[in-house]
Chain A
C-alpha cells in the first residue's frame, strides 16, 4: 500500500465504521413482511442493537431503503421516486421473496422483483423471512457498507440494470 493511500484507507474505514453502525432506515412497508419487520424491530429481536433502530420516515434522512412486502405495478413508480429522493450514500434491502423475485404472485399485478426497478444491495428471502434472517441480512449489509468507503464506488449492483420502459 502506498503511503498516500494510508490516510485514505483509514478514513474509508472510519467512515465505513460510522455508517454501518448508524443505519437510519426508511421502511417501505406494504404487505405481510411488515409484520415480521415489526417483530424484528421490537423487543424480542431488537434491531436497535445494531444501531438501526431509528426509522426515518423522510427519504432524505434515510440511509437504507427497506422494501418490505410485495410491490405491485401501481406501487412501482412510488418506490422508484422514494429511491430517487434519498440522499447518497444509500442502500436498498429487498425484504421477503416478493421483493426479491415476485414470489408466487406471478400475475398481472405484481412486479417480479424490485431489482427490475431499483438496484438492490441485500436480498433477504423468506415469505416472510424470520427475524433471524433479517438480522443476518442486516449484518451482511453492514459488511457491505464497511467495504463501500467514503470515496469508493459502490460495489457493483447485484441486479439487472434498470431499464425504464414506459
Chain B
C-alpha cells in the first residue's frame, strides 16, 4: 500500500479521528485526536488491512519555538537553501506544525507483512499534556513513553510505571523542551560547572 492509499484507507475507517494528513517525501502521516488514539492504534495493529505489528518509535516534538528560533547567522537567510531534485517527489508541501498545540506525540508504525510505514501524530496542549498509553497495544511503548515523559513531561494515561528513565529522579524539568536551556546543569555531586 502506498502512502496515499494508506491515508485514504485510514480516512475511510476513521472519518472523525483523522484531523489532517500528508505524505511529505512519501512518509504517510496522519494527525489524529488523542481521544481516539487507542481505538486507532488497536485497529491499526489488528486489522488485516493495516497489520502494523511494530511500534518502531514513539517520541514527541515541542513546537513552541517553531518559526521563532533565532538564527545565529549574521543574516537571517544565510546558509545554503536547497530545493529538491526533480526525481524525488515533492508534490505535497509540508503543512507545518499543528497550530495551537505545543507538543506533538509522534509514533512511527511499521507493518512487517505489508511493508508499509505510517506516522501518527497526536497534538497535545501544554496545559493538559496527557495522552493514552499505548502499552496495552505494543509492549515497546513502555520505555518509549517513559522517555517522552522524562524528556518532554507528557504524561501517559494508564502507563504501568511512568517514571524518569534517562535522567535521575532529582532532576527538575524536562530537558528536551525548548525552554530548557541546553547547559543548565543540576549535578548530584560536584560543582555546577
Instruction: For B187, give its contact among A106, A107, A113, A165 (CB under 8 Å).
Output: A165
From A29-37, A74-82, A147-155, the one touching the partner chain is A74-82
Chain B, 160-193, CB within 8 A of any chain A CB:
167-168, 175, 180-193
A109 interfacial contact with B, CB 8 Å: yes
Q: Known: A107-B182, A108-B182, A109-B175. Contact between A76 and B193, CB under 8 A?
A: no
Query: What residue of chain A has the Cβ atom nearest to residue B181's Cβ?
Result: A108
B187 in contact with A76 (CB, 8 Å): yes
Report whether B168 and A74 are in contact in the complex, using a CB–CB cutoff of 8 Å.
yes
Size class of the B contact interface (CB-based, 8 Å): 10 to 19
Closest residue of chain B to A114, judged by CB?
B190
Report if A4 contacts B (CB, 8 A).
no
Q: Which residues of B contact A108 (CB under 8 A)?
A: 175, 180-186
Tell me if B175 and A76 are in contact (CB < 8 A): no
- Chain B binding surface, main DSSP class: loop
B167 with A165: CB separation less than 8 A: no
Contact code string A101-131 (vs B, CB < 8 Å = 1, else 0): 0100011110111001100000000000000
Q: Which of B175, B182, B183, B188 has the most CB of A within 10 A?
A: B188
Which of B175, B182, B189 is in CB contact (< 8 Å) with A77? Answer: B189
Name A164's closest neighbour in chain B (CB-CB): B189
- 35-54 of chain A: CB within 8 A of chain B: none
Tell me whether A162 and B190 are in contact (CB under 8 A): yes
Give complex CA distance A162, B191 in Å. 8
Q: Mark A130-166, 1 if CB is under 8 A from B, else 0.
A: 0000000000000000000000000000000011111
CA distance in complex: A106, B182 (Å): 8
Chain A residues positioned under 8 Å from B189 (CB to CB): 76-77, 80, 117, 164-166
Q: Is A10 an interface residue (CB 8 A)?
A: no
Give complex CA distance A7, B155 in Å. Answer: 70
Q: Which residues of A contact B184 (CB under 8 A)?
A: 108
What residues of chain A lie closer than 8 Å to B185, measured between beta carbons?
A: 73, 108
**Cross-chain contact A116 with B190 (CB below 8 angstroms):** yes
Return chain A residues, CB-CB under 8 Å to B180: 108
Please, how many angstroms separate the alpha-carbon atoms of A80 and B190 in the complex?
Answer: 10
A163 to B175, CA, bound (A): 25
A14 to B101, CA, bound (A): 71
Write out the residue numbers on chain B whose beta carbons fall within 8 Å of the beta carbon of A113: 193
Which chain A positions have C-beta within 8 A of B186? 73, 108
Chain B residues with CB under 8 Å of A164's CB are 189-190
Contact with B along A65-88 (1 / 0, CB 8 A): 000000001101100100000000
A-B contact pairs, 20 of them (CB 8 A): A73-B187, A73-B188, A74-B188, A76-B188, A77-B188, A77-B189, A106-B182, A108-B181, A108-B185, A109-B175, A111-B193, A112-B193, A113-B193, A163-B190, A164-B189, A164-B190, A165-B189, A165-B190, A165-B191, A166-B189
